[in-house]
Amino acid sequence: MEDSYRIKPIGIVRCTFKTRDEITESKKRGNVGEIELFEEYEEGLSDIDGFSHIIVVWWMHKSDFRGLKVKPLHFPEKLRGVFATRHPDRPNPIGLTAVQLLERKGNILKVRGIDMIDGTPVIDIKPYLESDRKDGGRLGWLTGRNI
């Protein structure tokens, strides 16, 4: 079954990262950047100011799918199944990041925790909800690692 779907970006990421390596080497969780929504979507940001965090869904436009086994960027000692990693080279290069919402100015969201390359297309934004937190979750092969 070969279906195709259209995804239309709603905005773009503005940050200091120009390459994937810069993000990997950063290892900081506090990287600040901006999500710039295209003006026709600004109205959709109504009421977002009250949320401390948002989930950004984005297109990994610099990714290149090569196979179903990858070496994780932070722990490259062993090949792992791509679906058991956060590796960017995936069959459908969709990224998902929860970031802290610091400020909204019109169609610009200033956020902390960005892990995207400057110019990355944003395809959706969702509020982070208490129900997104799952107690008792297991970390699989990442158990005991500093992530």
In tens, the pLDDT along 81-106 reads 999 988 889 999 999 999 999 999 99
Contact predicate 1/22, CB 8 Å: no
pLDDT in tens, 6-53: 999 999 999 998 988 887 776 666 789 999 999 999 999 999 999 999
Q: What are the Cα distances from residue 127, in Å, to 57, 107, 123?
A: 11, 16, 14
- The fourth-level CATH superfamily of domain 27-63+91-114+121-129 is YaeB-like (2.40.30.70)
**Domain map (residue ranges) of the chain:** 27-63+91-114+121-129
Which pTM does this prediction carry?
0.89
DSSP result, 26-85:
H--S--EEEEEE-GGGGGGGTTGGG-SEEEEEEE-TT-----SEE--SS-TTS-EEGGGS
Going by the DSSP 8-state scheme, the letter that residue 19 receives in this structure is S
Q: Kind and range of the H or E element at 25? A: helix 20-26
